[in-house]
Each structure stands twice: as structure tokens, then as C-alpha cells.
Amino acid sequence: MSFIPNFVSTHRTRVPRHSSTKRPLFNLKMPRIPHLSAITVISLLAHAVLGSASTSRQTALQSTPCEDPPYRIHVLSKSPLVIYISDFVTEKERQHVQELTKSSFTRSSVADEAGTKGQRQTRTSQSASVPRDDIVRCIENRALSFQGFDIPRSHLEPLQLVKYGTGEEYHPHTDWFEAELQNTAEVGGNRETSFFAYIAVSNITGGGTNFPMLDAPREERWCEYIDCDEPWENGVTFRPVSGNAVFWQNLAGNGTGDHATLHAGLPVTSGNKIGMNIWTRQWALSSDYRDRGVDE
């Protein structure tokens, strides 16, 4: 995990919002999305209309016990690719992963450039790795299919729940690593993509997911998903909504980390929040690494 505390803000002039019915930018039911390494908004929309999954693949997926919800996508940025996903994790799945981890939470840790893990005030949440079972595999399948059918499960880190109580936060950081020790073949290289899904939100104020380097959209319909009361220079803050998720690509086309993916878990000022990290590595992780889980 890389920390970049000093980022450059772009000052913008806020465009007044008008009272109108809030609606998603793209109200599309998207059960599958092609590989995202070269994806554009046009290809996303084309996929929604034409569909790219073969009949055999669809049949195979439908034969599983997974609920496979018809989630909707909302493309915020093409570079870096950042997508807000409505209804990505079902209520049953959210309750299940909480039950699996209810006695497993410990103080979250952060790894420094030497790969040494420790507790720091930059990250004050609690974390727990999610044991794998059939329902968890359904979530993994959905995350993999979102990115393309050619990504093996071995590229996924164990799913991780993170719990934030009042006053807890995660300072600005990137999910990709700069230290070579954290990008070795054993650990599957760098983190290529991230999902952050909102599992449980209770009477919360604050606690949004902030991307300070991204330009805030001007369309009022985005206010359903982002905090439109934030100053433009603060970037984009996604609202925590149970079942929804944010997806982004951590690496640029040449495989280097994209600094524009800098993000933070803002302090929870009241209530509590449980989120879920889904990280995909460049290559396969060793079985030992996948079994022991990661917290950094």
C-alpha cells in the first residue's frame, strides 16, 4: 500500500444544481462486462446492447447456485477507469460474509516500503479475511466475470472485510505497491484492479470513499452516488450505500501504478460501516499466500 499525502488539487468552479429527479447516469443491467484492460465507455455501452458472453458461458453460469444479481454500472472516469456499481452484492451475500467473519476482526495493519506490517494511525479500521465457501465463490466469480472471462481465480486475493466505527478512517493511499518486495511473483505481482463494496451501513454520517485526484462530475444525477456538497477541489467522494461497489484499475497500460487512483476512507463521524476489498493481482498468487490472507 502506497501513501501519497501531498496531492495536487485542481480548483474548479461549481455549477449550480437544479432540483430534478435523481437518476443513474447509465441505467443498464449488466450481468457481464468484457476485459477491462482496454475498455472504454463505448465498448461498455456496446456490450449492454449486443452482449458478449457466449451461450455456453451463460448456460454454465446459470447452472451455478449463485444469485448473480443484475447490477448496473455508472462510468465515472475512463482514465483511470473508475466505475460505480449499483446492486453488486446481494443482501444474502452481505449477511453471509458478516456471519463468517464476526469473530475474526483485528486491528488493520499497513505494510511499509520494506514489506514490514504494523498498526499505524493512518489506518484505524478493523479487518478480517473472508473464509471461502460456495457463497463467497459466487462473489469471486462475479468480480472475475466483471473483468473478463480470461482471468483465473488464482489472481484473486482472499476477500477482506473492513469495519469502521465512529472516528475511524484510512488516510489517502493507493492499492498498488511501489516496493519491489510487495510485487514479487509469489504474491502475484502488483494489484491490477480493486473493488470496494459496501456490505453494511448503519446510521452513518461521513465514511465516504474519496478520490481526491479525480474530477467531480457536473451532472446532477451523480448526486445519488457521490457527495455533491463537497468542494470541487476535494475530488470525488462516493456515498456508502449497502450492496453497491466502486471498481477501479490501479495500473496504467504499461503496468506502472496510476497515482490518480489515490483514495481514502473518510472518517466516520457517526454510525458504522463495513466494506469489502476485492483485489486482483497481475498474476497467480501462491497457494500459501492465498491461504493466509493479506491485510495491508
CATH code of 173's domain: 2.60.120.620
User: Do the Cβ atoms of 241 and 91 come closer than 8 Å?
Assistant: no
Give me the domain span that covers residue 192.
41-292
Residue 89, all three cell numbers: 452484492
d(Cα 115, Cα 68) in Å, to the nearest integer? 37
Whether 284 contacts 154, CB under 8 Å: yes
Instruction: Please give the pLDDT value at position 112.
Output: 61
Distance in Å from the first CA to the final CA of the chain:
6
Indicate whether 72 belongs to any domain. yes
DSSP label of 156:
B
Instruction: Identify the pLDDT of residue 24.
Output: 38
Residue 104 lies in a domain: yes
Q: Say which residues have a Cβ less than 8 Å from residue 234's Cβ, sequence separation at least 6.
A: 9, 210, 212, 216
d(CA 262, CA 4): 7
Longest Cα separation, the chain: 54
The answer to whether residue 122 is domain-embedded is yes
Calpha distance 238→227 (Å, rounded)? 6
Instruction: Quote the cell numbers at residue 200.
Output: 453494511
Number of domains in the chain: 1
Looking up cell 465457501, which residue turns up?
Answer: 133
In a domain? residue 29: no
Q: What is the pLDDT along the chain (296 residues), one digit of tens a residue?
A: 655 443 333 334 344 443 333 333 444 444 444 444 444 443 444 344 333 333 333 444 445 579 889 999 999 999 999 999 999 999 999 999 999 999 999 999 776 665 666 666 788 899 999 999 999 999 999 999 999 988 999 999 999 999 999 999 999 999 999 888 788 888 899 999 999 999 999 999 999 999 999 999 999 999 999 999 999 999 999 999 999 999 999 999 999 999 999 999 999 999 999 999 999 999 999 887 776 655 55
In a domain, 157, yes or no: yes
Q: Does some domain include residue 5? A: no
**Inside any domain, residue 18:** no
Residue 126 belongs to some domain of the structure: yes
Residue 262: phi and psi, rounded to 5, are -50, 130
